[in-house]
Amino acid sequence: MAVYDYQAIGSDGKRTSGVITADSARAARKELRLRQLSPLDVSESRKKASQATASGHDQKLPGGDLVVATRQLALLVKAGTPVEEAIGSVAAEAEKTATRKVFMGVRSAITDGYSVSEALNSAPRAFPAFYRAVVSAGQASGRLDEVLERLATHLEKSRKMKNKILSALIYPIVLSVIALIVVTLLMIFVVPAIVEQFDTLGQDLPWLTEAVIGLSTFLRQWGIAVLIAALAVGWAFRRLMQAEAAREARDRFLLSLPVIGRLARGVAAASFARTFATLSGSGAPVPECLGAARNANGNAVFRRAVASVRRKVEEGSTLARAMRAEAVFPPMLLHMVASGERGGDLAGMMERAAEYLEDEFDNASTVALGLLEPIMIVFLASIVALIVLSIMLPILQINTFAIG
């Protein structure tokens, strides 16, 4: 949602001005008419964003700090503390300067007369679009305390999911890097030193030894060029992945893989269900929930699918039918959505689906990591064994000739 400055004429005929949050200028005009105001001019606000940047309170917050601050804010508001005072308390207790500046800037905006959602919109780098949409929905429904608590729970579970993914990837990445360094050192320093001893013998070497010597020579001569080329390819790939089409092609390929695809699908579906449940439980309509779920999802294939689902829902389709037409959502999620629509508890069923998908990912990643560790160890040990064998074969050959 964006912030718009407006000028309008009230029902008493007086000219008034202010700010309003909406998805578009058209939506802002519609909201003004609902407030019995006749809009004269509606334009996206630039002043507040520039003031936020100049004051330093619009800066990205670490995920952990945002989770802790949101939980503190939820507890204070639920205890009956006024929002302005609660935000000031969160700022005062913040350990990091960046967090303190962000929340003090939000408190200052509220003091100037902005609503909570409008104040959060002044710091879009600090508060994601999903975060601001949830708070806005909670404020509109008059259940800000419940919504903040639900939002804090959502952020905690999302962070827990990210930590699970990170912990599942750390071990194989570290093991691969260490093995690559060890093999490179062997090929550049150890193999050439031993080869010098074989050159003095003037005899034919085994093919494996010749291959390893050739690779060692290549790395010594072109190793730096290969490293620079690899870095250049990595940089180009990263730039390429900034395009939505490239990211979608990458994610579609990942989803097609046997084991990795199942894990990736589960993570994306869990993120979708958790975000939808959080916003739906805050009182937001289904299209707005789908918009937030799309923005919060990191999988480009799912983002396109959710955008298509939103269009179909706005055209009159049921959510379950629209999701089933996309063929990317897990069957269990589709059944839960259909059941939630029939029973009138869509948010609750989405919440249960998210918990199930997260537990399923946890179990699947544990099994996959348990299989990956020995496979990587055997593979890397085989590479080292080949290098050692290439060195030992000429020695055994010399011993055979000496005995013969």
Q: Is the pLDDT of residue 286 over 70?
A: yes
Percent of the chain with pLDDT over 90: 3
Among 15-29, 116-130, 176-190, 302-316, where is mean pLDDT lowest? 15-29
> Would you state the pLDDT for residue 403?
59
The C-alpha atoms of residue 236 and residue 230 are separated, in whole angstroms, by: 10
CB burial class (10 A; 0-12, 13-18, 19+) of residue 389? Answer: middle
Q: Give just the sign of the alpha carbon dihedral 265, 269, 270, 271.
A: positive
Report H helices in 282-345.
286-296, 300-314, 319-324, 331-343
Q: Is the pLDDT score of 6 beyond 90?
A: no
**Nearest-angstrom CA–CA distance, 201 and 195:** 10
Rg (CA), the chain: 29
- Tell if the pTM clears 0.85, that is, is over it: no
pLDDT at residue 229 is higher than 90: yes
Please give the pLDDT value at position 351: 87
Band (372; pLDDT cuts 50, 70, 90): confident
* CATH code given to domain 63-156: 1.20.81.30
For the chain, which residues make up each domain, given as ranges? 2-44, 63-156
Please state which of the ranges 87-101, 187-201, 258-272, 339-353 shows the lowest mean pLDDT. Answer: 187-201
Given a contact cutoff of 8 angstroms between Cβ atoms, the answer to whether 324 and 337 are in contact is no
Residue 54 binned pLDDT confidence (cut-offs 50, 70, 90): very low
> In this model, does residue 49 exceed pLDDT 60?
no
pLDDT exceeds 70 at position 52: no
| 350: helix, strand or coil | helix
Q: Give the contacts of 129 (CB within 8 A, at least 6 positions apart).
A: 1, 292, 295
Q: pLDDT at residue 191 above 80?
A: no
Place of tokens 């299989």: 371
Q: What pLDDT score was predicted for residue 247?
A: 84
Residue type, 388: V
Residues 6+ apart with CB under 8 A from 266: 330, 357, 360, 361, 364
Say yes or no to pLDDT of 402 above 60. Answer: no
| Interior angle at CA 312, CA 308 and CA 314, nearest 5 | 115
Give the C-alpha separation, 254 to 263, whole Å.
Answer: 9
**DSSP-based three-state secondary structure for 2:** strand
Q: 5 φ, ψ to 5°?
A: -85, 140
